[in-house]
A and B are shown apart, each in its own frame.
Chain A
Amino acid sequence: MMRGCSRSKSTQNLDRTVCMTNCPTLIVTVGLPARGKTYISKKLTRYLNWIGVPTREFNVGQYRRECLKIYKSFEFFRPDNEEGLKIRQQCASAALNDVRQYLADGGQVAVFDATNTTRERRETITVFAEQNGFKVFFVESVCEDPEVIAENIVQVKLGSPDYTNCNTEEAMEDFKKRIKCYENSYETLDEVLDRHLSYIKIMDVGRRYLVNQVQDHIQSRIVYYLMNIHITPRSIYLCRHGESDLNVKGCIGGDSGLSPRGKEFAKYLRQFIQSQEISDLKVWTSQMKRTIQTAEAVSVPYEQWKALNEIDAGVCEEMMYEEIQQHYPLEFAMRDQDKYRYRYPKGESYEDLVQRLEPVIMELERQENVLVICHQAVMRCLLAYFLDKTAEELPYLKCPLHTVLKLTPVAYGCKVESIYLNVDAVNTHRERPENVEVSRMAEEALLTVPAHQ
Chain B
Amino acid sequence: HRCDWLHAILSSVPQLTNSPTLIVMVGLPARGKTYISKKLSRYLNWIGVPTKVFNLGQYRREAVQSYKNFEFFRPDNEEAMQIRRACATNALKDVVIYFSKDHGQVAVFDATNTTRERRISIVSFSKEKGYKVFFVESICDDPDIIAQNITEVKVSSPDYVNCDKDEAQADFLKRIECYKQSYVPLDDEKDRHLSYIKIFNVGSRYLVNRVQDHIQSRIVYYLMNIHVTPRSIFLSRHGESELNLLGRIGGDSGLSPRGHKYATALGGFIKGQHIKDLKVWTSHMKRTIQTAEHLGIPYEQWKALNEIDAGVCEELTYEDIQENHPEEFALRDQDKYRYRYPNGESYEDLVHRLEPVIMELERQENVLVVCHQAVMRCLLAYLLDKTSDELPYLKCPLHTVLKLTPVAYGCRVEHICLNIEAVNTHRERPGNVDVTRDPEEALKTIPEHF
Contacts and interface: CB of A to CB of B under 8 A. Distances in A.
Contact of B208 (A227, A287, A366): A227
Contact of A305 (B3, B14, B206, B360): B14
B211 interface: yes
A283 to B, nearest CB: 11
A49 B209 CA distance: 28
A1 B292 CA distance: 14
Given A17-B302, A17-B356, A304 B208 contact: no
Given A208-B209, A209-B208, A366 B224 contact: no
Interface in B304-324: 304, 314
Contact of B12 (A217, A287, A346, A352): A287
Interface residues of A, number: 40
B11 to A, nearest CB: 6
B162 interface: no
B253 interface: no
A200 to B, nearest CB: 9
Contact of B217 (A14, A210, A220, A228): A228
A83 to B, nearest CB: 41
B173 interface: no
B205 A1 contact: no
Given A220-B363, A223-B224, A292-B3, A209 B207 contact: yes
Nearest to A287: B8
Contacts of A304: 7-8, 11-12, 14
A287 B208 CA distance: 35
Chain A CB count within 10 A is highest, among B14, B205, B286, B304, for B14
A284 interface: yes
A355 interface: yes
A228 B304 CA distance: 24
A17 B209 CA distance: 31
Chain B CB count within 10 A is highest, among A18, A292, A293, for A18
B300 A14 contact: yes
B156 interface: no
A306 B301 contact: no
Interface in B189-224: 192, 204-211, 213-214, 217, 220-221, 224
B208 A18 contact: no
A211 B220 CA distance: 11
Contacts of B205: 191, 195, 210-213
A213 B205 CA distance: 6
A18 B11 contact: no
Chain B CB count within 10 A is highest, among A191, A227, A352, A355, for A227
A220 B223 CA distance: 11
Given A207-B210, A211-B224, A220-B224, A306 B300 contact: no
A3 interface: yes
B206 A210 contact: yes
A207 B11 contact: no
B363 A217 contact: yes
Chain B CB count within 10 A is highest, among A191, A208, A212, for A208
B225 interface: yes
Contacts of B62: none
Contacts of A296: 3
Q: Which secondary structure dominates where chain A touches chain B?
A: mixed
B207 A210 contact: yes
Contact of B303 (A212, A305, A306, A352): A352
A363 B217 CA distance: 10
Interface string A335-379: 000000000001000001001000000010010000000000000
A355 B207 CA distance: 29
A363 B302 contact: no
Nearest to B196: A208
A170 interface: no
A87 B302 CA distance: 48
A31 B360 CA distance: 31
A152 B300 CA distance: 43
B300 A211 contact: no
B303 A227 contact: no
A19 interface: yes
A412 interface: no
Interface string B312-350: 001000000000000000000000000000010000010
Given A18-B302, A220-B225, A289 B204 contact: no
B250 to A, nearest CB: 10
A224 B221 contact: yes
B292 to A, nearest CB: 11
A1 B349 CA distance: 26
Contact of B4 (A1, A19, A289, A303): A289
A208 B14 CA distance: 26
A18 B252 contact: no
B15 interface: yes
Contact of B300 (A19, A228, A305, A363): A19
Contacts of B12: 287, 304, 306
Contacts of A228: 217
B352 A227 contact: no
B14 A211 contact: no
Interface in A382-401: none
Interface in B283-305: 284, 286, 289, 300-304
B132 to A, nearest CB: 15
A416 interface: no
A19 to B, nearest CB: 6
Contact of A15 (B15, B301, B304): B301
A228 B215 CA distance: 12
Contact of B289 (A1, A15, A212, A317): A1
A214 interface: yes
Nearest to B360: A18
Contacts of B363: 216-217, 220
Nearest to A208: B209
A18 B213 CA distance: 28
Contacts of A211: 205-208, 224
Interface in B252-302: 252, 284, 286, 289, 300-302
A17 B207 contact: no
Contact of B352 (A15, A191, A217, A306): A306
Nearest to A210: B207
A219 to B, nearest CB: 10
B269 to A, nearest CB: 24
A287 B6 CA distance: 11
Nearest to B303: A352
A298 to B, nearest CB: 13
A279 B352 CA distance: 30
Given A15-B301, A303-B14, A208 B214 contact: no
B418 to A, nearest CB: 26
A317 B343 CA distance: 10
Nearest to A360: B14
Interface string B359-401: 0100100000000000000000000000000000000000000
Nearest to B188: A208
A140 to B, nearest CB: 14
Contacts of B349: 306
9 contacts: A191-B205, A210-B207, A212-B205, A213-B205, A217-B363, A224-B217, A227-B208, A306-B12, A306-B13
| 6 closest A-B pairs by CB | A211-B206, A209-B208, A303-B14, A212-B205, A292-B3, A224-B221
Given A195-B204, A228-B217, A292-B4, 14 more contacts: A1-B284, A17-B302, A208-B209, A208-B210, A210-B207, A212-B206, A216-B363, A220-B221, A287-B12, A303-B14, A304-B8, A304-B12, A306-B12, A355-B303
